[in-house]
Amino acid sequence: MREVAIFEIGQTPVSEHWDKSLLELAGEPVLQIFEKTGMTSAEAIFVGNMLSGSANRQLHLGAYVADWVGAKHSGAVHVEAACGSGGAAFRAALMAVASGDVETAIAVGVEKMTDSPSADISSELAGASDADYERDMGLSFVALNALLMRRYMEEYGYRKDDFAGFSINAHANGVNNPNARFRYPITAEAYAKSAMAADPINILDASAMGDGAAAVLLVPLDRIADRENAVKVVGSGAATDAIAIHDRRDPLWLSAAELSAKKAYRQSGLTASDIDLFEVHDAFTIIEALSLEASGFAERGTGARWANLELISPHGKLPLATMGGLKARGHPVGATGIYQVVEAALQLRGEAGPNQVPGARIAMTQNIGGSGSNVYTHILRR
C-alpha cells in the first residue's frame, strides 16, 4: 500500500444549524480545505452520512456534494455505516489514495438532524439496529445501551456514579473547543442529578445529536514536501459484529472494536501503549468503557476505572475525547468519524490550543456504528 497523509482539514461547529441546508453544511468544511490549499476540486469525494435519505429526503449525496462545492467531475460516492459512516468514508478515501487510483481524496462527514421533517429521529437512528428483532420490538438506541450498562454494572460491580468521570472529562474539554456543541463544564453532582433517559443511562451519559460537518483531504505521502511533519495514516482497520446484541456470544465484549484495533496496530507496528491520545466513540459512557477494553487499553471489566480525570484529561496517561468527544463536541452521527480524525490531526499538529496533549505524536480514532456492530479504527502518526 502506498503511504497516505492528511494534507488539510475543515470543520463546522456542531450546533442546531436551522439556517443551513444539508448541502451548505457539507460544503463548508470542504470549501475551508479548498481555501486553505488553493485547490478547487479533488479527484474523489467520499461523503459519510447516515440519515439523509429519510431525515432530509435526499439521496445521492456523493454527486450532490461534489456538485455543490464545484467539484462536479470528481468521482464521488456516499458511504454509510450508521454512526460509523464518517470512519467508513475516511477508510474508503484512504483505500482510493493507497491503491494509487487517485492522488487527492476528500472524506467529508455530514449530518443534519435537528430540524428533520421526519417525525421521530430516534426511530430513524434505530435503522442502525436489527429492524426485525430490535427496533420493531421498541428498542431505541439508548435503551439498547442501557441494557449493556446495566449488565456491565451487575457483572463487574460498578455503581452508576463510577462512570461520571468520562462525561466530566468530555465537557471539560468541550469548553475550549470552538466547534463543540456544549462549552460548559459539568460536575459529579450535576451528573448524579441528571434526568434519566433509559435507566441507568441519564442525559449526561449520552451524547447529543446535532448538525455538523467535517472534512479531511488525503494525499500520497510522497506528494508532501515536509514528510517528517506530515500527519500520516499508519493504521486502518474495519470489522463488523452481529448487528443485534442478543446474537453476540458476549454482549460486554466489542469484538469488532477488538478486531479493527488489532488490524490497525498490526498495520502500524504499534501497540496500545504507544498511543498518545484516543478519540474514543463515547456515544454513551458504557461504550467508552467497553471500547477501552476491546482496544487493548484496559483489562476486561476494568474499562470504567478509566473514568478518572487524572488518567484521561489532556495531561493524563491516555487522553480521551480531547476536544469534547461525542458527549460535548456533539454527535452528528455520520460526521462524527471525521470530526475524530480532524481533532486527532489538530493534536498531532500541535494546534489543539488549551487542550493540547503535550508532545502528541501518535493518535488513535475509533468510530462505532450501531451498538458495536461496525467499527473503524485508525492510527495517525506525525
Stretch that binds a copy of itself, among 198-206, 238-246, 347-355, 356-364 (CB under 8 A): 238-246
What is the smallest separation between the CB atom of 262 and a copy of itself, expressed in angstroms?
11
Q: Could you tell me the sign of the dihedral formed by the alpha carbons of 344, 346, 349, 350, in that order?
A: negative
- Is residue 261 within the footprint of a copy of itself (CB under 8 A)? no
Least distance CB 285 / a copy of itself (angstroms): 23
Interacting span for a copy of itself (CB under 8 A) from 126-134, 164-172, 217-225, 286-294 = 126-134
- For 46, how many CA atoms within 13 A lie in the half-sphere containing its CB? 28
The one catalytic residue among 17, 171, 281, 331: 331
Q: How remote is the C-alpha of 342 from its chain's centroid?
A: 10
Using the minimum distance from each CB to a copy of itself, give the nearer residue, 96 or 168. 96
Cα dist. 159→149, 228, 291 in Å?
10, 46, 19
Candidates 50, 147, 280, 348: give the one binding a copy of itself (CB under 8 A): 50
Q: Is 129 in the site for a copy of itself (CB under 8 A)?
A: yes
CB 77, min distance to a copy of itself, A: 5
The piece of 87-95, 138-146, 195-203, 279-287 that touches a copy of itself (CB under 8 A) is 87-95
Q: Which is nearer to a copy of itself, 341 or 357 (CB)?
A: 341
Three-point CA angle 351, 44, 380, nearest 5°: 35
Q: What angle do CA 223, 80, 1 make, to 5 degrees?
A: 30
Site residues for a copy of itself, 218-237, by CB under 8 A, read 236-237
53 belongs to the binding site for a copy of itself (CB under 8 A): yes
From candidates 30, 33, 44, 348, binder to a copy of itself by CB under 8 A: 44
Asked if 49 and 80 count as a contact pair (C-beta separation under 8 A), the reply is: yes
> Would you state the cell numbers that stand for residue 269, as one nine-digit string?
507496528
83 is catalytic: yes
Which entry of 17, 78, 83, 171 is annotated as an active-site residue?
83
Identify the CA nearest to 333 among candidates 176, 214, 236, 198.
214
Among 242, 270, 309, 311, binds a copy of itself (CB under 8 A): 242
DSSP notation for 94-145:
HHHHHTTS-S-EEEEEEE--TT-SSS-HHHHHGGGS-TTTTGGGT--HHHHH
Residues 6+ apart with CB under 8 A from 226: none
132 binds a copy of itself (CB under 8 A): yes
CA angle 11, 126, 237 (to 5 degrees): 55
The answer to the question of residue 308 lying near a copy of itself (CB under 8 A) is: no
Active site residues: 83, 331
Residues that bind a copy of itself (CB under 8 A): 1-2, 21, 44, 50-51, 53-54, 56-64, 66-67, 71-82, 88, 91-92, 95-96, 98-101, 127-132, 135, 236-244, 247, 255-256, 259-260, 369-370, 373-374
